[in-house]
Amino acid sequence: MTGALKSTRSLNVTEALRERLLQGEFDPGTRLQETWLAERMQVSRTPIREALRVLAKDGLLEYAPNRGYSVRHFSLDDIVSAFRVRSVLEGLGCRLIAERGMSSGLSESLHATLQTGENLLQSGQLQRGEFDEWREMNKAFHLAILLETHNDLLVRFAKQSRNIPIVFNGSFRWYSLREFQRAHDHHQVIFDAMANQQPERADFMMQEHIMHAALILKKNYND
């Protein structure tokens, strides 16, 4: 299994809070007071403080000494900037794999996600519940590539760059069938480029893929 067997309140609180921040539960600028959070989460201030510090490191909160933590505001520019960073990171991932060639394990994993994508597109129009399946598939595709690079820092940064409220839960909201199809096409080309050891093409298409997602977001995001 993939699960974390051991945990602590501190870690649990961190992830619970992160989730709530990513859901956009707190308005930007809101000050997160330790005592308030502590009693609300049925826990002492100690694990709360540790969680807050970590989430600030992740860029979700802002911190000022003796003044505590507040919820960070993400402008549209911030979000697009994050996409740009992520695009070169994942682009690099594809390039590295294309250079050395795909392992059979990666080839199979990606093939499975492509198949899943194909199936989801068959129905003609993605239903409510299928959004989640698509999101799963998409996440699996991108993560499989990253992990195969065995570049620890690359994986960490790419994961971290997705820590943006709202964006990485409901962003497929805006997608029409046409957009899903295009994303699927991108995935296929990326796969093909890596399979045929075309680093430049793999890198470029991954950047294109991610920045197109940013473009759609830009068109629809209001704030």
Residues that bind a second copy (CB under 8 A): 6-8, 11, 49-50, 53-54, 57-59, 64-66, 78, 81-82, 84-85, 88-89, 91-92, 96, 150-154, 156-157, 160-161
Q: Which residues of 88-99 are buried (b: 16+ CB within 10 A; e: fewer)?
A: bbbbbbbbbbbe
When asked if residue 4 is in the footprint of DNA (CB under 7 A), the reply is no
CA 132 to chain centre: 14
Q: Does 31 bind DNA (CB under 7 A)?
A: yes
> What is the widest separation between alpha-carbon atoms in the chain?
57
Type and span of the H or E element at 55: helix 45-57
Q: Are 100 and 194 in contact (CB under 8 A)?
A: no
Angle between helices 76-100 and 177-195 (to 10 degrees): 30
Q: Which is nearer to DNA, 7 or 115 (CB)?
A: 7
For DNA, which residue of 1, 67, 124, 222 counts as binding (CB under 7 A)? 67
Q: Decide: 172 and 131 in contact? Cβ < 8 Å.
A: yes
Report in angstroms how near the CB of residue 22 gets to DNA at its nearest: 21
56 binds DNA per the rule CB under 7 A: no
Q: Which of the listed partners (a second copy, DNA, none) does 31 bind, with a CB threshold of 5 to 8 Å by partner kind?
A: DNA
Closer CB to a second copy, 83 or 180, in the complex: 83
Interacting residue ranges for DNA, rule: CB under 7 A: 6, 8-10, 31-35, 43-47, 49-50, 65-69
